[in-house]
Amino acid sequence: MTVFWFVGAVLAAAVLLLVLKPLMKASAKSPVSRREANIAIHRDQLRELDADLRGGLLAQADYERARRELEARALEDASASAASSAGGRSRGVAWAIGAGIPVIALGLYFSTGNPGAIAPQADPHELSAQQLEGMVERLAARLRESPDEVEGWKLLGRSYTVLGRFPEAADAYARAAAREPRDAQLLADFADVLAMARGQSLDGEPEKLIARALEIDPTNLKALALAGTAAYARKDYAAAAAQWEKMLPLVPADSEDARAIRANVQEARALAGTGVTRQELKGTVTLSSKVKAQATPDDTVFIFARAAEGPAMPLAVQRIKVRELPAAFALDDSMAMAPGMSLSAHPRVVIVARVSRSGTPAARPGDLQGTSAPVANDAQGIRVVIDTVVR
């Protein structure tokens, strides 16, 4: 039995490492911000690729494959940077999952009483990933039998969020909110994942949830951040600045969060004062009939712009589901992933639409993809056809 507990502790630590490492890494502090370092690295790598192509060291096919891999890494880094800038959401989720996984694992052990389920010959990383998925599904099953456990629904919502399963996360938060309707943080979390599940749009129900959260707690950081983002998206820059400004007394004055908030407030004020209208790049994405059978309605579609000549870092990203295709898209500077990496900073861009079978930004064999020709950064009526299988 002592050996079993030791093995169990090791496996629990492995699961925690897999879940917490990527989340906590994004919040680590250093003199140079992580996203700025990543941008510099991607630029250098792309320059090396271009030089190798010109020098005849790379064939065109190898160059395209290497650039696609670099683009995928850049997209992953950009997504991580965006999550990190949203007020520490990743850190909160990491600690919540970190605290919850051992509790769930211990509960599952006592409920099933099956120490023999730990197979010593299995690959430890594969087992840990399966164990995490299994724990989440067993928690969901337990909550279906005991639906009044509010904290359980909250934990399930956080777990699904970490796994990128936003519709399921929204459903879990909805069940928690029905039982605890005056929890401001719960309502803010619910609004956030509901927006993610609806293509990153805060219009409609998400914005109503944010308003309810602020009625209950006017100092809720996440609700204020989301309220400002919603106002900015509808071009009400004065309201965006006002909401974000309310966040400043709630964070340490010399913190990275405070600096980011002040920069957002200044930008919104500038736009409000000059009456500037955001530059938008618009078009439609369709799925070709020749690859349609290889996609499912719930597959994720990433639509993003990258510089036609320059770094592979995405300049703006939109996410939808295959069932929404054909779909119109609109990309603008509000979707920028890092300072200086915006549509307006690059006159010519390429639009990429990718069906991700795994739901992750990185391109993988079997994904479906379409790419536009280089276009102006304010082009209208762009048509992107997803018609190629990623090899």
Q: pLDDT tens digit string along 94-143?
A: 444 444 444 444 444 333 334 333 334 444 444 455 777 788 888 889 99
- Residue of higher predicted confidence among 116 and 242: 242
Q: What is the pLDDT of residue 65?
A: 67
Q: What is the pLDDT of residue 235?
A: 85
Tell whether 247 is covered by a domain: no
The number of C-alpha atoms within 13 Å of 112 and in the hemisphere containing its C-beta is 16
Q: What is the pLDDT of residue 385?
A: 97
Q: What is the mean pLDDT of the chain?
A: 75
- Residue of higher predicted confidence among 386 and 162: 386
Tell whether 222 is covered by a domain: no
Q: Cβ–Cβ contacts within 10 Å for residue 177, how many?
A: 22
Q: By the 8 A CB rule, do 341 and 289 touch?
A: no
Tell whether 30 is covered by a domain: no
Task: Give dist(CA 286, CA 21) in Å, integer.
Answer: 37
- Based on the structure, what is the number of domains in the chain? 1
- Residue of higher predicted confidence among 386 and 345: 386
- Residue of higher predicted confidence among 71 and 154: 154
> Per mean pLDDT, which range of 177-186, 257-266, 316-325, 337-346 is the poorest?
337-346
Tell whether 242 is covered by a domain: no
Tell whether 312 is covered by a domain: yes
Tell whether 152 is covered by a domain: no
Helix or strand (DSSP H, E) at 305: strand 300-307
> Per mean pLDDT, which range of 30-44, 105-119, 347-361 is the poorest?
105-119
Q: What is the 3-state secondary structure (H, E, C) of 126-137?
A: HHHHHHHHHHHH
Q: Which domain holds residue 327?
A: 280-389
> Per mean pLDDT, which range of 33-37, 61-65, 268-272, 289-293 is the poorest?
33-37
pTM exceeds cut of 0.85: no
Mean pLDDT of 228-256: 89
Q: Cβ–Cβ contacts within 10 Å for residue 343, how many?
A: 24
Q: Look up the CATH number of the domain holding residue 324.
A: 2.60.40
User: Phi/psi of residue 280, each to 5°?
Assistant: -120, 145
Whether 322 shows a pLDDT value over 80: the answer reads yes
Tell whether 252 is covered by a domain: no
Tell whether 298 is covered by a domain: yes
Whether 80 shows a pLDDT value over 80: the answer reads no
pLDDT tens, position by position, 161-209: 888 889 999 999 999 999 999 999 999 999 999 998 887 789 899 999 9
The DSSP line for 70-96 is: HHHHHHHHHHHHHHHTTTSHHHHHHHH
Q: What is the pLDDT of residue 346?
A: 85
